[in-house]
Amino acid sequence: MIRRDESEERFTRRLEAFSDIVIGFSLAQLGANLATASHAPQFFTNPLQIIAFLFPFAIICSVWFFHHRLFSQAFVPKALPVILNFVWLAIVVLLVFAAEAYTANSRNPVVIRAYFICYALVYALLAIQNLIAARYAKERGDAEMRARALRFAAFMSLWTLPFLWSLAVVIYVAPGLVYGILLSIGFAVAGVLSGILRRVFARTQETGPIRT
């Protein structure tokens, strides 16, 4: 992990705790929407309503994991990363709202665009945070941590692309069979490239940290 002094470590822990509260608020928002959206019997007998709950819940869990990984290994407690973290938290809250709207009305182009934009920004900001961490690790002479930060930045950048691709598809293609196929192609390509990237970094680890 990034080597921090005592004051930096204390600040990072408090900022992560605040971030966890905001992410927890997203979970509370999701639960509150459940309480107001439907009666219990209708919820448990309607697969669409169950999916409308599980889909945003899975999103919250995934972004929390990536955020925790950033803070535990590579977060830099400086002004720009702190500001980017606040922006990221705001987008996560919007992403949960957009995901709920998306499951409720998956053919509305405005809702779909908002969903893909939020998701792309979540990954892109995580990539930027790790690039900042890589630069910070280089300044402190921590080659191993720099390599980890660059690796994570590469994966976050890669998974930003299918959401940008999906956004372009939404703009130019009407919802339907072709639309669904194009979206699937984008994520399938990202999955293949992710596997290739994982093997490339595995070989890099065998030969030593990334150098410039």
Name the residue ranges covered by the structural domains of the chain: 6-207
pLDDT the model gives residue 103: 72
Whether residue 123 contacts residue 156, with contact meaning beta carbons closer than 8 Å, is answered with yes
The pLDDT tens digits along the chain (212 residues) read 666 677 888 899 999 999 999 988 887 777 666 555 555 566 666 676 677 677 778 888 888 998 998 998 888 888 999 999 999 999 998 988 888 787 777 778 888 899 899 999 999 999 999 999 999 888 888 888 888 899 999 999 999 999 999 999 999 988 788 888 999 999 999 999 999 999 988 887 766 544 44
CB neighbours (10 Å) of residue 2? Answer: 23
Between CA 9 and CA 13, with CA 10 as vertex, the angle to 5 degrees is 85
pTM higher than 0.85:
no
